[in-house]
């Protein structure tokens, strides 16, 4: 059976080819063009597309779908009110396609459509939403572009409800596909779209954000969540108290909280042992912020470790590179050279300013010394042979 081509065909001829091809596959579709123009033709073609998606020949399916895409990318220019519904119907067919071998084909076709739609944000939104759904169901998110700066460029200007729905979907799919770090960034972006007036509507999202950040073994800086308005709306709630412990408190505070709120913490899906591990690391970071030398006994006491657990713990900390230090086994202490701050507020900015100012002063002294040495050298009498 001949596969329809579209490179050298006019729109009407493409539709004729597609109609005939689908009819030959068993679709109930007429061979006459619709009286309502190209949009009407595509509505009929898309409505019977299932017969094509059952075809086992991936090459044939991709050729047909790309033929339809070549027509769909032209319809926004018509300004027809039926365009969004038509593009949504096409995407819906691919989302509902159950043939596993066509997943890669469907994703490629939707990416072609996404790129072909150019700056038409409302239409691109429909396509990108479908890409996420398919990739999430089939664990193919690595194929979908997820750069947050690009996503914001693509969809800034669409309705805030759609923008929030998109980021909520992206967050859930990223979590589902084990990309918790990016999921947290997406959720932070989502929460940043709420105002003081509607922040309370996002309490559920705010709690999800806190939980996913606490659970992520690679996330240690959490103070950036506190200014988010939906998070602030949770002040006084146990989840907000728990967040504050991870932001600024020590291990003992977490243990006391867990004893009083064990059922709550467990209901969040957080693992107590993982929480203990993260809080020990955060507590050690806090110790390292204020001390250049930390004794083993202090680590053992503050982190509630046994003698045998101290050195392995310190080695694990050093592997994270959050703290740079050396172990002095002879004197039973840790020599800290630098550490990442748990919070980065006014005090840390002032410390950074002071450090940079000192560097600038030292570099100026070096520059003056070198300049002086060069002047002295040029003023020395030159030796003659």
* Predicted local confidence at residue 355, as pLDDT: 57
As a whole number of angstroms, the distance between CA 303 and CA 266 comes to 22
Residue owning tokens 């949009």: 39
232: its two tokens: 């602030």
* Predicted local confidence at residue 80, as pLDDT: 86
At residue 234, φ and ψ (nearest 5 deg) are -95, 5
* Predicted local confidence at residue 4, as pLDDT: 43
As a whole number of angstroms, the distance between CA 249 and CA 253 comes to 6
CB 11 within 8 A of CB 38: yes
* Predicted local confidence at residue 353, as pLDDT: 54
Instruction: With a cut of 70, list the residues of the chain below it in pLDDT.
Output: 1-9, 55-56, 343-359, 379-385
CB 11 within 8 A of CB 37: no
* Predicted local confidence at residue 362, as pLDDT: 75
CB 65 within 8 A of CB 18: no
As a whole number of angstroms, the distance between CA 225 and CA 213 comes to 9
CB 304 within 8 A of CB 183: no
Residue owning tokens 């053992």: 300
As a whole number of angstroms, the distance between CA 179 and CA 172 comes to 10
At residue 218, φ and ψ (nearest 5 deg) are -100, 0
Cβ atoms within 10 Å, residue 281: 21
Residue owning tokens 């929480």: 275
As a whole number of angstroms, the distance between CA 6 and CA 8 comes to 6
The model scores a pTM over 0.85? no
CB 121 within 8 A of CB 154: yes
As a whole number of angstroms, the distance between CA 247 and CA 83 comes to 49
At residue 200, φ and ψ (nearest 5 deg) are -65, -20
* Predicted local confidence at residue 144, as pLDDT: 93
CB 130 within 8 A of CB 110: yes
* Predicted local confidence at residue 37, as pLDDT: 85
Q: Tell me which long-range contacts 155-162 makes (C-beta under 8 A, separation of at least 24).
A: 155/121, 155/124, 155/125, 155/128, 157/121, 158/121, 158/122, 158/125, 160/193, 162/125
């Amino acid at each position: 059976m001949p596969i329809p081509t579209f490179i050298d065909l006019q729109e009407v001829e493409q539709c004729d080819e597609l109609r005939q091809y689908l009819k030959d596959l068993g679709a109930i579709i007429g061979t006459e063009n619709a009286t309502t123009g190209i949009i009407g033709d595509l509505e009929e073609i898309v409505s019977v597309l299932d017969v094509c998606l059952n075809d086992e020949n991936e090459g044939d399916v991709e050729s047909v779908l790309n033929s339809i895409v070549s027509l769909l990318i032209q319809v926004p220019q018509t300004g027809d009110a039926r365009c969004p519904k038509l593009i949504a119907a096409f995407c819906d067919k691919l989302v509902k396609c159950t043939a596993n071998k066509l997943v890669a084909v469907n994703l490629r076709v939707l990416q072609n459509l996404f790129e072909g739609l150019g700056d038409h944000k409302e239409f691109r939104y429909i396509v990108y939403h479908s890409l996420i759904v398919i990739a999430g169901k089939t664990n193919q998110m690595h194929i979908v572009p997820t750069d947050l700066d690009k996503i914001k460029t693509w969809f800034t200007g669409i309705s805030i409800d759609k923008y929030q729905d998109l980021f909520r979907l992206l967050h859930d799919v990223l979590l589902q596909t084990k990309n918790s770090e990016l999921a947290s960034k997406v959720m932070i972006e989502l929460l940043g779209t709420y105002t003081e007036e509607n922040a309370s509507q996002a309490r559920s999202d705010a709690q999800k954000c806190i939980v996913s950040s606490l659970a992520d073994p690679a996330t240690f800086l959490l103070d950036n969540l506190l200014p988010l308005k939906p998070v602030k709306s949770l002040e006084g709630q146990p989840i907000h108290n728990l967040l504050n412990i991870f932001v600024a408190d020590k291990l003992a505070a977490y243990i006391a909280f867990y004893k009083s709120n064990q059922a709550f913490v467990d209901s969040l899906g957080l693992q107590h042992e993982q929480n203990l591990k993260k809080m020990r690391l955060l507590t050690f970071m806090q110790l390292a912020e204020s001390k250049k030398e930390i004794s083993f006994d202090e680590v053992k006491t503050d982190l509630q470790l046994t003698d045998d657990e101290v050195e392995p713990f310190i080695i694990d900390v050093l592997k994270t590179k959050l703290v740079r230090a050396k172990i002095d086994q002879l004197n039973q202490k840790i020599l800290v050279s630098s550490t990442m701050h748990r919070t980065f507020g006014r005090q840390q900015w002032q410390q950074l300013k002071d450090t940079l100012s000192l560097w600038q002063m030292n570099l100026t002294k070096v520059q003056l010394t070198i300049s002086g040495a060069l002047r002295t050298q040029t003023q020395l009498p030159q030796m003659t042979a």
